[in-house]
Structure 1
Amino acid sequence: MEPVFAGIAAIIILSALFGYLMHRVRQPLLPAYILAGVLVGPLILAFGRIFGISYLVHLTDLSFLTDLSHIGVAFLLFVVGLEMEIRKINRVSLPSFLVALVPTVVIALVVIPLAMLTGLSATAGAYLSLILSFSSTMVVLKLLSDRGELPTLHGRIITGTLLFQDFIAIIALAMLPGLQQFSALLMLRSLLKGLALVLSIVAISDLVFAPMMRVAARSSELLFLMSLSVCFIAASAAELAGFSIEIGAFIAGLSLASLPYKPEIVGRMLPVRNFFIILFYAALGMGLYQVPDWNLVWSFLAVVLILKPLAMMLTLDRLGFSRSTSFLTGVNLAQTSEFSLILVPIAIQANILPATYMVAITLVTLLTFVSSSYVIRYANRIYLLLRDRLFFLHRANLDKFDEFHTKKPFSAVLCGYNRTGYGILKSFKEKKKEILVVDYNPETIHRLRHESVPCIYGDLSDPEIVDRIFKFKPKVIISTVPDLDVNQLLIEQAEKSEHKVMLFVTASWIEDALRLYERGAHYVMLPNLVAGDYLAGIVHKHGKSHKHVHHLRKEHIKELKRRHRHAAE
């Protein structure tokens, strides 16, 4: 058995075992992968001694896993670039830019003087500030995507912030090797080189790869292979230009983001990415065998978990965003970045930072990754517990985005527009009945306002938004959001309301539906059961008539195209 195979096999087996145990107790999987990395070395050694496998006893160098993990980060950023729709963050580009910039400046103002007091140079303090300012594109976007929060206002701001941070990282990575001879000319040269790299990759993608992709799209395997080729070509070009392979992969993803077959590319790429990402987390765990300087660790954690999110919250608060949007943005970005682990070794090689900082930054990255896997999962509940104590955030109710201020009552309120809500709103329009729509997707709100549909932006997990809904004195509230906590909050508020409200809510699981009925919901819809009943009705009524089924098919295609056009506008 080859050492490389033995190391990878041990990582995958341990990750699967610990992941299974974490899943059984309904915990995030990320800590399981890190734990596998922590234990892989000792377990391989013990296995070799127990079974007398000599080469496993001497297999102490697993650094190749770290090299493989960098490929995983590159694949992740390639997929992030593919899924990045810059036009969707245009409305929050200024807030995103300021959320990326202001905390970086604040952290620099604190860290640089402290670094100089400990004997480091101002340059070291500046780069340490950058290392602590960046948040993790890999962790945050994956967790928010899993929770379906990327389309929300705070999700858009977070995505834009991470994008701006990535561009700052490009500049930092370009300038770092020659920083000791820093000059304005060097900075300009680095910026021009980075701009040339981006323009070159985008131009080659449009002129060469896009036409080739159109041909390759006829074969899913060839399309996947061509996409991998673009990723590796861009990553290699970035490395030759003095950048990291991760930056090249990210730019490659952005250059292919407008292709119509993007969903298939992403679907094919995800299993490959996930495999290498597991190795990345395991490599993080493997970096914990050395004893860190705990004073450094606690200091860095204070900056990342307290100073950075506070600066982000206050920035958004001053820009006019609500308390919940400001809070959720800040806490979701309270971790260090995978780019930090790229910057630190380069800074150490350039004699800018001491070697002891590598272990401390690795541990801080690991701890903040683990904490984020829980904080992002329970961010709404944490906000509910702390919202009355967030006195430093002044805008308690409305986002700057929200411009709907009418006090006119509505007989019906629709919570959640996309998918199920589209048909409900259409039905109300056809019957000329007015209904107020509540949604947390800024693009949806913008489109509905353009169509003169009464609507407000709001996250239903925020009690302040729910309070606002009931001030419209609705007789019927329809929730298409299959979130148990959200629907329980609506039921609780309905019980407190002075007027009677009929509640129609949605659940994903039978257990949740029964619980909502017990709490007082008037009707609970389970989309899968309703869809099954509807399809069975079509089969029984029209299944024997090809003519009727063909007519239904034509009408269905027409409706799907109408919805698709509506969503794309």
Structure 2
Amino acid sequence: MADSSLFQSFFLIFSGAAIVATLALFGRQPLLVAYIALGVLLGPSGLAVIDNLRLLSDMSNVGIIFLLFLLGLDMQPQALVSVLRKATFVGIISCAIFLGIGFSIGQLFGFTTMESWVIGMALMFSSTIIGIKLLPTTVLHHKKLGELMVGLLLFQDFVAIVCLMILLSDSSGDMHLGQVALSFGALPLLVAFAWVVVKYLLLPLFSRFDRFHEYVFLMALGWCMGMAELAETLGLSREIGAFIAGITLAASRISQYIALNLKPLRDFFLILFFFSLGAQFKLSMLPEILVPALVTAVVVLLAKPVVFRYLLGGHSELKILAWDIGFRLGQISEFSLLIALLAFSQNLIGSEASHLIQATAILTFLVSSYIVVMNFPNPIATKDELRRD
């Protein structure tokens, strides 16, 4: 590929993203929906001005690696245990319910057993972007609502990582229990190795050279990428390795500095990820998946608030608090999109099932964000009485 072609692609993606992001903010829409829409517009199904999707897709996967690295960096062990203890029961039951619902929908519309299980996996998770970004900062950090939201989303993150391990355990498209067991067996060894390297090598180096910011930045990148590649070699996944790399550094004083400096780089690659996801969406498949996608989206939008309301009812002083959490978590997740992409790349699901999950994600992102913005306290509410920073 010529350099000019790559530059032209970046020009179209990021200049276009700046425009659609502005329109999305005026329209109170999640930015990731705008990036996906831009991908559909500029990709082969739209204006077809960008066709080098393979390179962009490969590059965008780096954003997911950074996302999981930063997720690990933000998980302080003590706080993690506290919030997870309160959310585990609700998390287990809700994940089981939505796994069953997704599997049933898949079977109803004639998908294979494996595709139905993957659809069920995709329905288990709720969007961190919508859940956290539309929560007022004071509520997020100081109130029970924020504590329960963070606990549930963290629990779902762990479940999502387990799902990624299962999906990536075998690239042949066949799920071998022996390979899955081997991957899980390699996990504690990888964690132990990471802990030893961080304690006896990385932290002393960071302490000695922390005034050289470029060095800290490069070491963090090298550690993230190195652990990602090691995990891939051990039969896990690069995403798992990056998460372990982050969480083993989380307790160090340098972790927040690293997280702050890596976020712009993560956002750069995540824009590519959501753009490439939209660009790979085949509008020609829309007639085939429209009815299943609409049914799945309606079921998610109706069932999630109800399920979380009744599961959380015993934890809340007021029933309205449980409804609030339920509606804020009433969509599927960015992880659902990642699961669809990975399962398709592993030949575990077909294009139709992958597009069903993507379409359901887009629909639930849009409708759910409107419900929250119009009815619950949030930073971008259209009504003055609901606007909370």
TM-score by length of 2: 0.83
2:343 is equivalent to residue 343 of structure 1: no
Q: Is the 8 A contact 2:228 2:242 kept in 1?
A: yes
SS of alignment partner, residue 331 of structure 2: coil
Could you tell me how far 1:230 is from its partner in structure 2?
1.5
Could you tell me how far 1:317 is from its partner in structure 2?
1.0
| Cα 1:305–1:62 shift into 2, 3 Å | same
| Cα 1:229–1:148 shift into 2, 3 Å | farther
Within 5 Å, which residues of 2 pair with 1:391-406? none
| Cα 1:62–1:112 shift into 2, 3 Å | closer
SS of alignment partner, residue 43 of structure 2: helix
Could you tell me how far 1:354 is from its partner in structure 2?
3.1
2:244 is equivalent to residue 251 of structure 1: yes
Q: Is the 8 A contact 2:308 2:326 kept in 1?
A: yes
2:290 is equivalent to residue 299 of structure 1: no
| Cα 1:22–1:111 shift into 2, 3 Å | closer
| Cα 1:173–1:32 shift into 2, 3 Å | closer
Partner letter of residue 87 of structure 2? Answer: S
Larger relative contact order, structure 1 or 2 (CA cutoff 8 Å, min sep 6): 2
Could you tell me how far 1:316 is from its partner in structure 2?
1.0
SS of alignment partner, residue 244 of structure 2: helix
2:349 is equivalent to residue 325 of structure 1: no
2:57 is equivalent to residue 66 of structure 1: yes
2:304 is equivalent to residue 308 of structure 1: yes
Gaps (5+ residues) in structure 2? none
Query: Equivalents in 2 of 1:119, 1:41: separation in Å?
Result: 29
Given candidates 183, 189, 195, the residue that maps to 2:182 is 189
- 2:20 alignment partner in structure 1: 18
Given candidates 114, 139, 144, the residue that maps to 1:153 is 144
Q: What are the superposed Cα offsets for residues 470-498 of structure 1, whole Å, 9 maximum, x if unpaired? A: xxxxxxxxxxxxx96379xxxxxxxxxxx
Query: Equivalents in 1 of 2:219, 2:308: separation in Å?
Result: 40
2:228 is equivalent to residue 235 of structure 1: yes
Query: Equivalents in 2 of 1:39, 1:146: separation in Å?
Result: 34
Within 5 Å, which residues of 2 pair with 1:399-548? 485=385
| Cα 1:257–1:31 shift into 2, 3 Å | same
| Cα 1:342–1:34 shift into 2, 3 Å | closer
Within 5 Å, which residues of 2 pair with 1:129-168? 129-137=120-128, 140-144=131-135, 149-168=140-159
Could you tell me how far 1:195 is from its partner in structure 2?
2.9
Could you tell me how far 1:76 is from its partner in structure 2?
2.3
Query: Equivalents in 1 of 2:240, 2:317: separation in Å?
Result: 31
2:112 is equivalent to residue 212 of structure 1: no
- 1:2 alignment partner in structure 2: 4
Query: Equivalents in 1 of 2:359, 2:45: separation in Å?
Result: 21
Q: Is the 8 A contact 1:304 1:334 kept in 2?
A: yes
Given candidates 32, 35, 38, the residue that maps to 1:36 is 38
Partner letter of residue 195 of structure 1? Answer: P
Partner letter of residue 351 of structure 2? Answer: A
Query: Equivalents in 2 of 1:73, 1:484: separation in Å?
Result: 36
Query: Equivalents in 2 of 1:223, 1:278: separation in Å?
Result: 25
Partner letter of residue 273 of structure 2? Answer: F
Partner letter of residue 248 of structure 1? Answer: G
Q: Is the 8 A contact 2:40 2:46 kept in 1?
A: no
2:96 is equivalent to residue 105 of structure 1: yes
Query: Equivalents in 2 of 1:27, 1:343: separation in Å?
Result: 23
| Cα 1:361–1:115 shift into 2, 3 Å | closer
| Cα 1:311–1:228 shift into 2, 3 Å | same
Could you tell me how far 1:319 is from its partner in structure 2?
4.2
Query: Equivalents in 2 of 1:282, 1:171: separation in Å?
Result: 26
Could you tell me how far 1:326 is from its partner in structure 2?
1.7
| Cα 1:232–1:130 shift into 2, 3 Å | same
2:362 is equivalent to residue 366 of structure 1: yes
- 2:279 alignment partner in structure 1: 286
Q: Is the 8 A contact 1:331 1:376 kept in 2?
A: yes
Query: Equivalents in 2 of 1:377, 1:217: separation in Å?
Result: 42
Query: Which one is further off, 147-156 or 352-361?
Result: 147-156
RMSD of Structure 2 on Structure 1 (CA): 3.4
Could you tell me how far 1:11 is from its partner in structure 2?
0.7
Could you tell me how far 1:217 is from its partner in structure 2?
1.1
| Cα 1:175–1:325 shift into 2, 3 Å | same
| Cα 1:25–1:171 shift into 2, 3 Å | closer
| Cα 1:144–1:227 shift into 2, 3 Å | farther
Could you tell me how far 1:286 is from its partner in structure 2?
1.7
Q: Is the 8 A contact 2:43 2:280 kept in 1?
A: no
Provide the identity percentage: 30
Partner letter of residue 296 of structure 2? Answer: F
SS of alignment partner, residue 140 of structure 2: coil
Query: Which one is further off, 352-361 or 314-323?
Result: 314-323
- 1:275 alignment partner in structure 2: 268
Q: Is the 8 A contact 1:175 1:187 kept in 2?
A: yes
Query: Which one is further off, 357-366 or 13-22?
Result: 13-22
Partner letter of residue 332 of structure 1? Answer: R
| Cα 1:101–1:44 shift into 2, 3 Å | closer
Query: Equivalents in 1 of 2:344, 2:46: separation in Å?
Result: 30
Could you tell me how far 1:301 is from its partner in structure 2?
0.9
Query: Which one is further off, 346-355 or 14-23?
Result: 346-355
- 1:528 alignment partner in structure 2: none
Query: Equivalents in 2 of 1:197, 1:321: separation in Å?
Result: 42
Gaps (5+ residues) in structure 1? 47-55, 383-482, 488-506, 509-569
Q: Considering only CA atoms, is the larger Rg found in Structure 1 or Structure 2? A: 1
Q: Is the 8 A contact 1:171 1:194 kept in 2?
A: no
TM-score by length of 1: 0.59
Query: Equivalents in 1 of 2:312, 2:144: separation in Å?
Result: 12
Could you tell me how far 1:123 is from its partner in structure 2?
4.4
2:96 is equivalent to residue 94 of structure 1: no
2:166 is equivalent to residue 170 of structure 1: no
